[in-house]
Structure 1
């Protein structure tokens, strides 16, 4: 019996028609579809492909044991997630070793701040694994602003909002264009970092890029003290132009 393949399927930022043709083809021919989700939720990746999964395909939800219940810098957080990924890998490996192909749904691009990379590193060399790249959420976010993110020789930096404030300040001050992800409750810290770097007036906040409810706001005009999970802050570059 030949070994099946595990496919990490980049779904793009949130609209099903922003998937690649290759990803769409693999999904429509899938017999096994796996995806991450919070307990009790559909999961964003699963919601994106509603109506596209073939009838009769087996679904394999992988439910996170924790999300924000434990601080990410707590050693117990790493232990719990490592055990979770090990269990997910065992399920996927068993299917592949039984000759079954498995599609794993991934928001955005599988190799860009995605959970799939934790499966990939554990599966690589054990069973065949292939990755289908996808449009990232940040690409959809800057497109939603209607303004190019980089010009000429602009340097762009991507920063997680979870970084310490002083690291955010250094990253923002040292770049021409900035993308900040993973904000949520870290928004007040980001505001302070932008102010220290002298970039507050240049910042935008995009909520739910390429999804229902997309909203684009200058950060100065954003009244909230927290931002939804699917939010990205942007500072556009202003570099060399012909």
Structure 2
């Protein structure tokens, strides 16, 4: 019998936001895999660190953190091969994924390579989207409002079109695009309605009105939330980081 591949959503960063099921599978794991940068620690592993058993076999999936494109397909091909060898031997593999595995999660690339050959189970996690809304203290959307999730690297024209057709907007992966996004939202008359959250749920989190944010860049784990629907939802008058 082959082992089972588990894709475990860990939530946005606070270990207390992990599900009970994620905790159970991690504490019982014999083999865990997780994405890791080529320099520095793995964020996914750091979330689950206190629950990882001693003597567990670890498979880091090293993904270079670069602005330019890198051969990601080769990286996931290699990781899938190593994980497949473990599964073929009858041992389960727990793959850690910050946030939710199927919401911009790295696990989806392993799933598409391995789910046709092995039993796979996906354990959902608290997404950055809902975590940021909670920290911003403003609901995301309601009733028949349309919520649109936009990657920050898209062009201004693409972002503009998607914002115009939505009542609620989340712009993810802000990073170096922060000045351009602020300028676009000001042009659209939405800057005052926009909230900003970075590193949600972590001790170093930052919550602010986007208009009050005085910096030229943002971390990868940052998000802009906008509401322009019919509800009378406004941003809180002040935030504490």
Q: What TM-score results when the alignment is normalised by the length of structure 2?
A: 0.92
Indicate the larger mover: 105-114 or 146-155: 146-155
User: CA–CA distance in 2 between the matches of 1:173 and 1:202?
Assistant: 14
Q: 2:132 aligns with which of 133, 141, 156?
A: 141
2:53 counterpart residue number = 54
User: CA–CA distance in 1 between the matches of 2:102 and 2:21?
Assistant: 17
Q: Secondary structure at the match of 1:50?
A: helix
How many residue pairs get aligned? The number is: 232
**RMSD between aligned residues:** 1.3
Post-superposition CA distance 1:75-128 (Å, at most 9, x none):
xx3xx1111110010011000001110100000000001111011001111122
User: CA–CA distance in 1 between the matches of 2:95 and 2:40?
Assistant: 17
Counterpart contact for 1:207–1:232, Cα < 8 Å:
yes
2:41 counterpart residue number = 42
**For structure 1, which runs of at least 5 residues remain unmatched after alignment?**
none
Shift of 1:173: 1.9
Shift of 1:192: 2.4
Counterpart contact for 2:193–2:228, Cα < 8 Å:
no
Post-superposition CA distance 1:27-51 (Å, at most 9, x none):
1100001100101321110110121
CA separation of 1:91/1:37 partners in 2, compared to 1, >3 Å: closer, same or farther?
same
Q: 2:180 aligns with which of 189, 192, 195?
A: 189
User: CA–CA distance in 2 between the matches of 1:89 and 1:48?
Assistant: 23
1:67 counterpart residue number = 65
Counterpart contact for 2:167–2:227, Cα < 8 Å:
yes
